[in-house]
Structure 1
């Protein structure tokens, strides 16, 4: 078959991102050491992030607000203002972290763009995602960029209809089974999982290994060969 559109996730698919969240969480753990142990604090933070997604969306700003909320909760309101200021400072630093491309990102996009429409499909804060894309140097390689609030089957139906011939003739590559792969397959397309060494707990899901439109690759470098096999 002929694929018309190839979609790529951004964070931890094309460039590193989760490492900055984990470094900031480690700093948060140190700041809150007097009030909660690491495991308890981590559980409370994940719970806060999960319930706050509907209010704040994905990204650094929601993460920072969830850290502040968790700090107030676990300290029963006794967390010093100086610690809250440190948390806010850590969040601001995350919004200016440097962009480091993952292996094969540029070469694969350039290679596939000769025969396919290339679309970036990413979720998160609009300003931060635009900053990272601009600093990545990859912006001019995409035929379209979609920054969405969440990734569901209907999201991929709309995006791949708008920038191609529908998800049935599209492929989405990303590091998240929950966001990049499974909903794309449910929309009727191909979902290719490219694991990253660090994955946010919220994004964990079981791989649909028996599905004919699922594949897992060790890195992006194998994507052109995989697509060539699909297209025969």
Structure 2
């Protein structure tokens, strides 16, 4: 029997990356006089990769990386108005409405009471709390964990603190790197729900031969997957 079914939040329960992509487009337009779109994307991704260990995951770190990239590509001559636009874009992202992904609400309703349900998400504390509250899903979950990163050690500590056996836990999410592989490494179940717009830094190779790895098209398929796992014993 599973002790708990855990869910990632961003781009697993609700749309998230689409707002980053819109801001990417706006950023490229703002700096089009200084660099081409592809070059800007490369420089911005490099800045995010450098900075994620300092700023963490989330919108605030993204805004700082955009500002850093703007300074780099303009030789520190970026107009103040452009910096103002970047900050305004970040502020808008922090207030975007929550749009649930298809089947998320229905799947959770089916699973409520059948298993303890947890959210394990990473990012800015205030922003993640806002999104959970505005999603209307907060009451469905038996616990929420907001962490700065997702590693086997982080998951192990969450499971230990909540008296959940790691090998009886399931993590469901759109990121192979952060949601699936760390829990598989602990002997648990990892369920990948791909999202078309998953951030480049979350990509990894699917562990297709891992016995507890599963792939589903959307959350609507999760209850039936759990039925099959239980039936197999």
Q: TM-score w.r.t. structure 2 length? A: 0.97
Q: Take 2:86 and 2:56, find their aligned partners in 1: how far apart are those partners?
A: 19
Secondary structure of 1:24's aligned partner: helix
Q: Helix, strand or coil: the match of 2:180?
A: helix
What's 2:81 paired with?
82
2:66 — aligned with what? 67
- Quote the offset at 1:159 in angstroms: 1.6
Deviation of residue 113 (structure 1)?
1.9
Structure 1 residue 154 displacement after superposition: 1.1
CA distance, structure 1, for counterparts of residue 165 and residue 68 of structure 2 = 41
Are residues 107 and 164 of structure 1, via their aligned partners in 2, closer, same or farther at CA, if it must alter by over 3 Å? Answer: farther
Instruction: Count how many residue pairs are aligned between Structure 1 and Structure 2.
Output: 231
Unaligned runs of 5+ in 1: none
Secondary structure in 2 aligned to 1:7?
Answer: strand
Alignment partner, residue 19 of structure 1? 18
Q: For residues 37 and 163 of structure 2, what CA distance do their matches in structure 1 show?
A: 46
Task: Write the mapping of 1:127-206 to structure 2, written as runs, cut at 5 A.
Answer: 127-206=126-205
Q: For 2:124 and 2:203, locate their aligned partners in 1 and report how far apart those are by CA, in whole Å.
A: 21
Answering whether residue 124 of structure 2 is matched by residue 125 of structure 1, we say: yes
Q: Answer yes or no: is the 8 Å Cα contact 1:117–1:163 preserved in 2.
A: no
Instruction: Provide, for residues 37-83 of structure 1, a one-character-per-residue CA deviation record: whole Å limited to 9, x for no partner.
Output: 11111000000001101110000000000000000001111110000
Please give the root-mean-square deviation of Cα atoms over the aligned residues, in Å: 0.8
**Following the alignment from structure 2 to structure 1, what is the Cα–Cα distance between the partners of residues 85 and 6?**
37
**CA distance in 1: counterparts of 2:95 and 2:164, whole angstroms:** 37
Which consecutive residues of structure 2, in runs of 5 or more, have no partner in the other structure? none
The separation in 1 between residues aligned to 2:171 and 2:142, in whole angstroms, is 15
Residue 164 of structure 1 and its aligned partner are, at CA, apart by 4.3
Alpha-carbon distance between aligned partners in 1 of 2:157 and 2:38, rounded to the nearest angstrom: 40
Cα distance between partner residues in 2 of 1:231 and 1:164? 21
The separation in 2 between residues aligned to 1:120 and 1:53, in whole angstroms, is 22
Q: Report the Cα offset of residue 161 of structure 1.
A: 2.7
Runs of 4+ in 1 over 2 A off after TM superposition: 160-165
Partner in structure 2 of residue 31 of structure 1: 30
Deviations 1:151-199 (A, max 9, x none): 0011111222333432100100000001000111012110000011111
User: 1:3-18, aligned counterparts within 5 Å?
Assistant: 3-18=2-17
For residues 171 and 90 of structure 1, the distance between their equivalents in structure 2, rounded to whole angstroms, comes to 36
